[in-house]
Amino acid sequence: MSTQPPACQLLARQDADYRGWLWVAPPRDGWLESGEGSVWSAELDVCDAWRQAGRPAYGALTAPSAEVPGAVLFWPKSHALGEWWLAALNASLPVGTPLQVVGENQGGIKRVPKMLEGFQQVCRKLDTARRCTLFASRTVESVRNPEAVWQSFTAEGLTLETHPGVFGHGKLDEGTRLLMEALTQSPLPALGNAPLHALDVGCGDGILAAWLALQGCEVTAVDINEFAVEATRRTLAANQLAGTVLQSDVYRQLEGSFDAIVSNPPFHQQRSIDYGPAERLIREAPAHLVEGGSLTLVANAFLPYPDWLEAAFGSFEILADNRRFRVYRAVKTRR
């Protein structure tokens, strides 16, 4: 496990008895995962870690089923997502349940009192250290419907369903746009199969999955984030398209091989850079492709993907480059 996140360091020094508490949207942390209580998170790797430790874990869209003495919300990078979690906590926990909110100062935690005020919740500052702040409040009668944050917008002729917890919420990402343009100019290599079985890794709001389905592909889409999985399902349904959508940590929950893998892979975890998922996406891709199958992905130009593509496939090509983003394609060589 990496160095303990600052917010967890701040919590670890508290006198509070956190036994049995609900930890909401936490980072991966050994201190949390070795303690007591339950977790409520959109991230599959977080939930899996708690389940492997024999402790209750709830996906973001499944309200906790057991009463808890209190809850700690780790304030996310997206303030809109933070507001969703506040609404969900108020809707799910009994009125008056102790609630603490913790986060890094550079992540906007100091705006939390104003946001709590919008929910008619009073709060007080408990502690500040490690460039983090901890606030205390209590849940109130629900005044907002968490479902109301879902939004629809149109891009590339598709209706997209989105949630504040989804990458690129409410807009088409520039990198994804370049990837789609490159796929239009350089279609996925035909393998004699009709249709191609395409895998979208890191599906987000589902635009790539829906676009691939429109091209006649048989689509499987995966994302580690439950909000993204639900968004992609809603996007496919909104456009009357078929596809299989799964919550998966890259390839971990997948079986079988694919004719093509397409991705705009993430490289951030909250405010820090994390190359791990993208590196696994590239290095493990050949094992999940049929012979002649392809990996097509978009990335910021400064990222070290060429080295990984070279190591995994032996060669690759650049389909598009607008100086900020590049679209790469590598093909699994036929034996």
Q: What is the pLDDT of residue 266?
A: 78
Between 82 and 144, the more confident residue is 82
For the chain, the residue count is 335
Which phi and psi (to 5°) does residue 129 adopt? Answer: -170, 165
Residue type, 132: C
Q: Is the CATH code 3.40.50.150 the one for domain 6-147? A: yes
Residues of the chain with pLDDT > 70, as a percent, come to 96
In whole angstroms, give the CA distance from residue 50 to residue 149: 28
- Distances in whole angstroms, Cα of residue 155 to Cα of each of 18, 100, 148, 235, 298: 45, 38, 21, 11, 18
pLDDT tens for each residue of 146-155: 999 999 999 9
| Range with lowest mean pLDDT among 39-53, 147-161, 274-288 | 274-288
43 DSSP assignment = B
Mean pLDDT of 47-63: 95
- What average pLDDT does the structure give for the chain? 94
Q: Does the pLDDT value for residue 103 go beyond 70?
A: yes
Whether the per-residue pLDDT at 325 is higher than 70: the answer is yes
Q: Average of pLDDT values for 300-320?
A: 94
- Work out whether strand 218-223 and strand 197-201 pair parallel, antiparallel, or are unpaired: parallel
Q: Averaged over 58-69, what is the pLDDT?
A: 94
Domain boundaries, the chain: 6-147, 150-331
Q: CB–CB of 174/224 below 8 Å?
A: no
DSSP 17: -
Q: Are 209 and 245 contacting, i.e. CB atoms less than 8 angstroms apart? A: yes
Q: For residue 192, count other CB atoms closer than 10 A to its CB.
A: 7
Going by the DSSP 8-state scheme, the letter that residue 5 receives in this structure is P
Query: How many Cβ atoms from other residues are within 10 Å of residue 27's Cβ?
Result: 19
For the domain with range 150-331, which CATH number is right: 3.40.50.720, 3.40.630.10, 3.40.50.150, 3.40.630.150? Answer: 3.40.50.150
pLDDT in tens, 210-221: 999 999 999 999
d(CA 295, CA 285) in angstroms, rounded, equals: 7
Q: Is the pTM of this model over 0.85?
A: yes
Residue 276 is predicted with a pLDDT of: 81
For Cα atoms 183, 207, 196, give the angle at the middle one, nearest 5 degrees. Answer: 50
Q: Closest Cα to residue 108, out of 79, 136, 81, 85?
A: 79
d(CA 112, CA 143): 17
Q: Please answer whether residues 105 and 55 qualify as being in contact, where contact means their C-beta atoms are separated by less than 8 angstroms.
A: no
Half-sphere exposure of 99 (CA within 13 A, CB side): 27
The reply to whether 6-147 and 150-331 are identical in fold is yes
Q: Please give the structure tokens belonging to residue 87.
A: 């609404």
59 Rama sector, left if φ>0, alpha if ψ -120 to 50, beta otherwise: beta
In this model, does residue 200 exceed pLDDT 70?
yes
Q: What is the mean pLDDT of residues 132-140?
A: 98
Cα 122 versus chain centre, distance? 30
pLDDT greater than 50 at residue 268: no
pLDDT value, residue 194: 78
CA nearest neighbour of 245 among 188, 205, 293, 285: 205
Confidence of residue 66 (pLDDT cuts 50, 70, 90): confident
Strands (E), 63-157: 71-74, 98-104, 124-129, 132-138, 151-155
